[in-house]
Amino acid sequence: MSNRSVEVSVIIPVGRRHVPMAALHAEYRAGLDRTKRSYEFIYVLDGPQMDAAEALRDLQRRGEDMTVIALAREFGEATALMAAFSHARGEVVLTLPAYHQIEGSEIHRLVQSLAHCDLAVGRRWPRAGGRFELLRRRAFHGFVSAVTGVRFSDLGCGARAMRRRVLEEITLYGDQHRFLAVLAARQGFRVLEVDVRQSARDRFEGEYRLREYAHRMLDLLTVIFLVRFTKKPLRFFGMIGVLTWGCGALVILYLVAQRLFLSEPLADRPALLLASLLAVLGLQLFAIGLLGELIIFTHARHIKDYQVEEVIQFARTSSARPPGEAASHAARELVEDSPQLSPRA
Amino acid sequence: MIAKNEPAGTPALSIIVPFYNEEDSIGPLHAALVAALEPLGLSFEMIFVDDGSRDATLERAIEVARADPRVRVVRFRQNRGQTPAMAAGIEHAHGDVLITMDGDLQNDPRDIPLLLERIEAGYDLVVGWRFNRQDKLVTRKIPSRIANWIIGKVTGVPIRDNGCSLKAYRGALIKQIPLYSEMHRFIPAMAFVAGPRIAEVQVRHHARQFGKSKYGLSRIYKVLLDLLVIKTVTSFMSRPLVWFAILCVPAFICGFSAFAFTAFSVLTGSQAPSLVILGTGVLFSAAALIALSSGMIAELVYKLGDVREHEFARLTARASRNHQVLTPTGGHP
């Protein structure tokens, strides 16, 4: 049974926030049946989620075919996704939240959208929620699009369908699952937002605490750095460093000139302390930028600037045939590409 | 050194051509390449890199590849620029000698034999020089002249035309040179760490026939920054700690003199010791210390990285034993 090849691998990371598994599983399964494709379920327990583990064991006992991976501690949803992905066999990977976000009956629309793109992310629409909620979401997505240059309107939606190679190329960790769409778009994958009906039970019971916001912002900072400056650290650190150093140097020059020509003693000029602090800080920032460049330079062979979609070469056939005929016998060598799923647009 | 008519296995020559929106050039270029290379009697392959073109470049390239099994098409998912395209081409090339050129028909494939001649004469890197350049004077030629002069001065590799894409390399050497960002202009400078023998050859340059140029004046700023990076990265290479130590000398002098001044005023009692001066001294000494520790980190980075000086040294060295020439790179006898 486990050797059977499947088309869709469904990954469901179960974190602290989850609903009873049995009902959810039934809903998702009904939704997947509508896709008319073979599928497998992979549940990842992110940390010891006792009740969910128990419920899943029950389901397995009742003959449900599923893989359950229990992580030893809470690693975060993105890490859980990656752990599950290493067990996934399908050409299409579908991630679903462990709580109600979208109607299960909408799943097939995500999977079908892959005919036109590499990653289809759900957008809950029409969306419930108060005015403050709306404002908060707008601000977050506006900020994300301002710094990364790609516009999305529901990064929080956990329902995403993607081709296998998206996760093969993008390594996520911690809480970066929210930014999968952003990172994939930056890698040149075609990403589509697909409107899906929001589940009537999609409510966030808790409240967004300050810590939650701080976490989001820090994640965003990481993403900014990852997409913007990984290849050119000196452009970032060097510029700030030179500016800081320049300010400091100017003030020092000014003070020294006053000392030399106007005989104002340096000893009681606190501005000198500030100026030298700036100069020193500038020097340090510049040194950090240089170190960054050194790391890039020495590891350039592992950090690829480009993504090769495919390599095309037609096989050499016997030399007696004219080139035109040879082509019809040629086998096209495809790398990293699945012919049946990617009709050339 | 260049194997003649090798039936299978690695070809003697790999021609690497990046294309970006060059649907009209690809066919004529392929024809010109074949016409120029077949008389040489060498085995060769052509690697066409499609840098995420938005026109029919890819379709044309596939047509060409279908008719000619020596053509390999490497397709990028999205446009990445000329350096990554060249880096990808180099990665997918198997030849003993690699030749890069532009996809816009401005370089002439008939010059390739000239480059090969120099490689056979024992050079590791042969750079084309567009002595009769067919481009606009003010926006292209003058900035390029200035840039080449600066690059030559800074890197110590006085090449008249760094921007010419038509270059020939010994494959084993160029595969070891890190190529990223917009560094293709600096390949000679980057390669210089390996101590290669570099030759310049005058090559023909044609005016653009199809499409339009993809460059403007705006790149100068980036070129200058990249130049600074290359200079530091390549000169730091053998002893980063020393370079960082040199960086920290001025800071150390400032700090030390501030301490000396304070000590002097305390000992002689001529002046009350000043907190400002002392504080400045502490700051600058701290800066010196931090620069030194950065140097140590830099040593560590080089040690763990995969750019190895001895590897370069081995690649360009000529070894002989009892009048018998040993060349590890399959270089020239």
The domains of chain B are located at 13-235, 240-306
Q: In this predicted structure, what is the pLDDT of residue B326?
A: 63
Q: Which residues of B touch A235 (CB under 8 A)?
A: 225
| Residues 257-286, chain A, touching B (beta carbon < 8 A) | 266-270, 272-273, 276-277, 279-280, 283-284
pTM of the model: 0.78
Residue predicted with more confidence, A229 or B188:
B188
Is 1.10.10.10 the CATH number for A8-228? no
Q: How far is CA B211 from the centre of its chain?
A: 26
Q: Does residue A203 surpass a pLDDT of 80?
A: no
- Best of B51, B248, B283, B309 to substitute, by most chain A Cβ atoms within 10 angstroms, is B283
User: Where does residue B61 rank: exposed (0-12), middle (13-18), buried (19+ CB within 10 A)?
Assistant: buried
Q: Does residue A176 surpass a pLDDT of 90?
A: no
pLDDT band at A3 (very low <50, low <70, confident <90, very high): low
Residue predicted with more confidence, A2 or B268:
B268
Q: Does residue A204 surpass a pLDDT of 80?
A: no
Q: Does residue A329 surpass a pLDDT of 60?
A: no
pLDDT digits (tens, 9 = 90+) for B168-198: 999 888 888 888 777 777 888 888 878 888 9
Q: If you compute the radius of gyration of chain A from its CA atoms, what whole number of angstroms results?
A: 27
Give me the residues of chain B with pLDDT under 70, please: 1-9, 211-221, 325-333
Q: In this predicted structure, what is the pLDDT of residue A333?
A: 42
Looking at the complex, does the CB of residue A149 fall below 8 Å from at least one CB of chain B? Answer: no
**ipTM greater than 0.85:** no
What's the CATH fold of domain B13-235? Spore Coat Polysaccharide Biosynthesis Protein SpsA; Chain A (3.90.550)
CA atoms of A126 and A115, how far apart (whole Å): 24
Residue B149 DSSP SS3: helix
pLDDT digits (tens, 9 = 90+) for B72-117: 999 998 888 888 899 999 999 999 999 999 998 889 999 999 999 9
Looking at the complex, does the CB of residue B16 fall below 8 Å from at least one CB of chain A? Answer: no
Question: Which is nearest to B45 in space by CA: B97, B117, B109, B113?
Answer: B97
Give the CB-side neighbour count of residue A261, counting CA atoms within 13 A: 6
Q: Does residue A205 surpass a pLDDT of 60?
A: no
Q: In this predicted structure, what is the pLDDT of residue B274?
A: 80
Q: Which residues of A touch B74 (CB under 8 A)?
A: 308, 311-312
Distance from CA of A253 to the nearest CA of B (A): 13
Q: In this predicted structure, what is the pLDDT of residue B215?
A: 56
* B284/A312 touch (CB, cutoff 8 Å), yes or no: no
Please give the residue of chain B at the shortest CA–CA distance from A276. B280
Identify whether B109 is preceded by a cis peptide bond (ω within 30 of 0): no
Distance from CA of B202 to the nearest CA of A (A): 31
* A232/B181 touch (CB, cutoff 8 Å), yes or no: yes
Q: In this predicted structure, what is the pLDDT of residue A32?
A: 94
**Which of A23-32, A263-272, B106-115, B122-131 shows the lowest per-residue confidence on average (mean pLDDT)?**
A263-272
**Which of A6-15, A71-80, A215-224 shows the lowest per-residue confidence on average (mean pLDDT)?**
A215-224
Close Cβ partners of B255 (under 8 Å, ≥ 6 residues apart) = B280, B281, B282, B283, B284, B285, B286, B287, B288
Residue predicted with more confidence, A305 or A113:
A113
Distance from CA of A111 to the nearest CA of B (A): 22
pLDDT digits (tens, 9 = 90+) for A181-198: 998 998 889 999 999 999
Looking at the complex, does the CB of residue A297 fall below 8 Å from at least one CB of chain B? Answer: yes
Q: Could you say which of A268, A310, A326 has the minimum Cβ distance to residue B274?
A: A268
Going from N- to C-terminal start, the domains of chain A cover 8-228, 233-299
CA atoms of B130 and B161, how far apart (whole Å): 7
Looking at the complex, does the CB of residue A296 fall below 8 Å from at least one CB of chain B? Answer: yes
pLDDT band at A342 (very low <50, low <70, confident <90, very high): very low
Q: What is the mean pLDDT of residues A119-123?
A: 94
In the sheet where A308-312 sits, what is the strand order? A308-312, B71-76, B44-50, B13-19, B97-100, B167-170, B125-130, B198-203
Q: In this predicted structure, what is the pLDDT of residue B62?
A: 93
pLDDT band at A207 (very low <50, low <70, confident <90, very high): low
Looking at the complex, does the CB of residue B19 fall below 8 Å from at least one CB of chain A? Answer: no
From its phi and psi, is residue A263 left (phi > 0), alpha (psi between -120 and 50) or beta? Answer: left
Assigned token pair, B2: 């260049």
Q: In this predicted structure, what is the pLDDT of residue B309?
A: 80
Give CA angle at A56 (A54, A61), nearest 5°: 95
Share of chain A above pLDDT 70, in %: 87
User: Where does residue A81 rank: exposed (0-12), middle (13-18), buried (19+ CB within 10 A)?
Assistant: buried
| Residues 73-102, chain A, touching B (beta carbon < 8 A) | none
Q: In this predicted structure, what is the pLDDT of residue A1?
A: 44
| Residues 157-196, chain A, touching B (beta carbon < 8 A) | 187-189
- Best of A237, A294, A325, A342 to substitute, by most chain B Cβ atoms within 10 angstroms, is A294
Close Cβ partners of A131 (under 8 Å, ≥ 6 residues apart) = none
